[in-house]
Amino acid sequence: MAALLAGNRLDNWINGKRVAPANGEYLESVDPSTGKVWIEVPGGDAQDVEAAVAAAKAAFAGPWREMAAMQRAALLRAVAIEIADHAEELAAIECQDNGKPIREAVPGDLPSVSEMMNYWGGQADKIHGSTVEISPTSHNFVRYEPLGVVGIIVPWNSPLAILAAKVGAALAAGNTVVLKPAEQAAASILTIAECFDAAGFPPGVVNVVSGTGEVVGDALVCHPDVRKIAMTGSTQTARIISERAAPTLKQLSFELGGKSPNIVFADADMDIAVAGASTNAVFTGGAGQTCVAGSRLLIHASIYDELVEKIEAHVGEVVRLGNALDVSTTMGPIAFDTQYEKVKSYIELGQSEGAELAFGGRFGPENFEEREDAEALAGGYFVAPTLFRGATNEMRVCREEIFGPVTCAIPFEDDDEALSIANDTTYGLACGVWTKDLKRAHRFIRDVQAGAVWVNTYRRIHWAAPFGGFKESGYGRDSGLESLHGYQQTKTAWVDLT
């Protein structure tokens, strides 16, 4: 099997082939495990976006729109096979680019990417319209049609998984796409484009343009021939996109940040809750760089001290920081330098606000002082799992998204106080509830203002179930049939029978 990546430079993917950026500029992509440049990606501009949109528009008007739904379904299944065949290589590229551990990406992320494409292949030929009975002399029916060219903006924390959720749905609905990966971790998205080509997708159906958000992202958002922007990223970026997209009145869908409450009641199974509130929720392989991180840990006052102590012991036992490509690593680095500095600044802020550092708060080489591989990891962007105790929901570290391995333990006295704290946030992406009380669990499912609620589990996401947020965590949904409808427009037809 031929390798997807050759050399230390990647070009854009436009109209079925590699295309150098029109301005000739490239950006250095740094391996966050070492702090060293490992590959260059295009630093494209509006000229590249124009070429990609033109290719996507031509493909939509030509071979892709004329293709039967069953043929599109077959191509989606074919690309699922291509991705599975190249899973280990794609995983290694992504892990070196953004620091997610290989032991998590190979058995977890990449099989999911392939399975998602299979799922969307199964949906592509099942888009059915409906008839509406209005009168005996009128035949009325509804069609669901693609939008046209869709711009998809992918973040740096889980590029391939988010690509599969958005691109799969957009293609299944019959659209063509122009992808803009995050400039900090663009390599895996640029590389996977080869899989669509190998699967037989017509040129122009899938295009990838790399560059900064201010230049490439803005050109995509403002382009009049792009009929929708689907973005996963920060709330602030969504505000900018909303303003910039307004003149063209294109559709928008956003999956944004969160400050998700993870609520542990006194009757919870303590052993299960310990992992669910720590390594499953925020001290993850990706170093807490997940939009659903359980970064506000609400603990009933009667078990507060006990749970914090158990979490510290659990984290000390199971978390091993290290190079993302090392199979013994359970938590990788922060993805890039500016995010690393941001996380560090929040840990310093939490202490200045009066929260107590229960454990963690170590940066970079401090984490490897007695390790044999300390020298190799000295330049990496590593932050130790960090927990603040004695936190209050008024603190900035409890209100602002940190996007790192940091959580704040907040005590509560009863159900009403827990619910009040949980909902006292501008975000509304996810929530965890740990209890054996079924009635309590259902009350919180009903009353918590979040798009996903997990009971006695955390961070469970599946391509068949809708995923997205309330409030400033966005609107629109990824995954599931609800996501598919977001890439369609509805047409009503009236046929006079008199």
Query: Which residues in 362-393 are b (16+ Cβ under 10 Å) and which e?
Result: bbbeebbeeeeeeeebebbbbbbbbbbbbbeb
pLDDT at 2: 66
**Mean local confidence (pLDDT), 115-140:** 95
Please tell me the number of Cα atoms within 13 Å of 315 on its side-chain side. 29
166-194 average pLDDT score: 98
> What is the pLDDT at residue 4?
73
Full DSSP string of 424-467: -SS--SEEEEE-S-HHHHHHHHHHS--SEEEES--S---TTS-B
Mean pLDDT of 58-80: 96
pLDDT tens by residue, 396-416: 999 999 999 999 999 999 999
Neighbouring residues of 209: CB distance < 8 A, sequence distance ≥ 6: 12, 14, 42, 44, 48, 49, 52, 178, 179, 180, 216, 220
Residue 186 identity (one-letter amino acid) = A
**Over residues 311-336, mean pLDDT:** 98
pLDDT at position 143, please?
A: 96
Structural domains in the chain, CATH included, are 12-256+474-493 (3.40.605.10), 261-462 (3.40.309.10)
State the greatest distance between any 2 C-alpha atoms of the chain, in Å, as a whole number: 87
Q: What is the pTM of this model?
A: 0.96
Q: Could you say which of 195, 291, 398, 408 is catalytic?
A: 291
Quote the distance between the C-alpha of residue 78 and its chain's center: 24
Q: What is the arithmetic mean of pLDDT over 445-465?
A: 97
Active site residue 291: yes
Strands (E) in 288-427, as ranges, are 296-300, 356-359, 386-389, 406-412
The 10s digit of each residue's pLDDT in 342-366 is 999 999 999 999 999 999 999 999 9
Which percentage of the chain shows pLDDT scores above 90? 98
Could you say which of 104, 255, 401, 472 is catalytic? 255
In 36-81 the beta strands, taken as DSSP E runs, fall at 36-42
**Residue labelled with tokens 């008007």:** 61
What is the pLDDT at residue 3? 72
Over residues 131-156, the pLDDT tens digits come to 999 999 999 999 999 999 999 999 99
* Residue 432 CA to its chain's centroid (Å): 19
Reply yes or no on whether the pLDDT at 108 is more than 90: no
Structure tokens at 91: 């995983």
pLDDT > 90? residue 313: yes
Residue 255 annotated to the active site = yes
Rg (the chain; Cα; Å): 23
**With b meaning 16 or more CB within 10 Å and e meaning fewer, what string describes 9-42?**
ebbbbbbbeebebbeeebbebbbbbbbeebbbbb
Summary mean pLDDT of the chain: 97
Higher-confidence residue of 5 and 464: namely 464
Residue 96 has pLDDT above 90, yes or no: yes
